[in-house]
Amino acid sequence: MGLAPWPEGTGRHVLAEVDSTNAEALRLAARLTGPAWVLARRQTAGRGRRGRAWADPEGNFAASLLLRPGGGPAEAARYSFVAALALHDALSQAAGPMARLSVKWPNDVLLNGGKLAGILLESAGAGPVTLVIGIGVNLLEAPPATTLEDGALPPVSLAGETGQRLSPEEFLDLLAPAFARRAADLQAHGFAPIRAAWLARAARLGEAITARTGAVTRTGRFDGIDDSGALILTTAAGREAIPAADIYFGG
């Protein structure tokens, strides 16, 4: 596969072991002036959304990107969609044109209907946001199903579904340029083309899904995302924009 060049001005830190690449990126933030990727060959305390543990078998991809994108939290949140598209781009290049990839709101990439990758955004600082985008990809091995919560999609691996085997460093060489291209698109043209590209790859668009926020559960038709990235759900009660929730496909 042809490789795009590493993004100019972007740091690259490869560690044998770390507690969490997001935590390490935030620790490095004070002494880094530009964007930087932090890749760990092993995480001892990886985490996902809402404080959940992230299972990270050896050979899988665990990395975080430190950014200072400008703007406030609302603008920073849009980078979740930039990251999802970049992951889709990089995985398409790794797996080939026949791979059945899709994106799942708000932060997953699916392969053949199973969860292949997840994204975790964290931020620090008042005013202009220091943003860390953590990305985990099951390159070689899917974590055991016993680690899943009820209703979660089954995990899959790139190697298991496609036979393609990449090291974490090789995958970073695909992902970093892909992210730089998508981020440049956001900076140049705003969120609209990112939103359109994300919707073109969205899993279950126009179909029934269930959204859970705390103790509240709603089931309705997934009608896309709005200009803020909130999920649009149409139920018997009407149309609602949901800024944060866990999504379940059911059946």
Percent of the chain at pLDDT above 90? 79
Q: Which residues lie closer than 8 Å to 218 by C-beta, 6 or more apart?
A: 210, 211, 233, 235, 240, 242
Quote the CA–CA distance of 136 and 49 in Å, as a whole number. Answer: 12
Q: Identify whether 228 is part of a domain.
A: yes
CA distance 56 to 140: 10
The mean of the pLDDT values for the chain is: 91
pLDDT at position 57 is 76
pLDDT of residue 73: 87
Region of residue 104 (phi > 0: left; psi between -120 and 50: alpha; otherwise: beta): beta
Is the pLDDT higher at 72 or at 217? 217
Measured CA to CA, the distance from residue 212 to residue 214 in angstroms comes to 6
Cis peptide before 106 (omega within 30 of 0): yes
Q: Give the mean model confidence (pLDDT) for residues 139-150.
A: 80
Establish if 3 belongs to a structural domain. no
pLDDT band with cut points at 50, 70 and 90 for residue 97: confident
Report the pLDDT value the prediction gives residue 251, as an integer from 0 to 100.
Answer: 47
11-15 vs 36-40, strand pairing mode: parallel
214-234 pLDDT tens trace: 889 999 999 999 999 999 999
The answer to the question of residue 120 being in a domain is yes
- Check residue 188 and give its pLDDT: 97
Q: Is residue 71 part of a domain?
A: yes
Q: How many domains does the chain have?
A: 2
Q: Each residue of 20-40: pLDDT tens digit?
A: 999 999 999 989 989 999 999
Q: Span 59-87, mean pLDDT?
A: 94
SS3 for 223? strand
Percent of the chain clearing pLDDT 70 (strictly above): 90
Domain membership of residue 53 (yes or no) is yes
Averaged pLDDT for residues 175-197: 98
- Residue 30 lies inside a defined structural domain of this protein: yes
What is the DSSP code (8-state) at residue 202?
B
**Residue 232 contacts residue 221 (beta carbons within 8 Å):** no
For residue 61, the model assigns a pLDDT of 97
5 domain residue, yes or no: no
For residue 229, give the CATH number of its domain.
Answer: 2.30.30.100
Q: What is the mean pLDDT of residues 195-219?
A: 96
Picking from 93-97, 196-200, 206-210, which range would have the lowest pLDDT averaged per residue? 93-97
> For position 47, what pLDDT does the model report?
62
| Average pLDDT of span 45-49 | 62
My answer on whether 152 and 63 are in the same domain is yes
pLDDT at 50 over 60: no
Domain around 217 = 208-248
The residue-averaged pLDDT of 183-205 equals 98
Would you say residue 87 lies in a domain?
yes
Per-residue pLDDT averaged across 143-149, rounded?
73
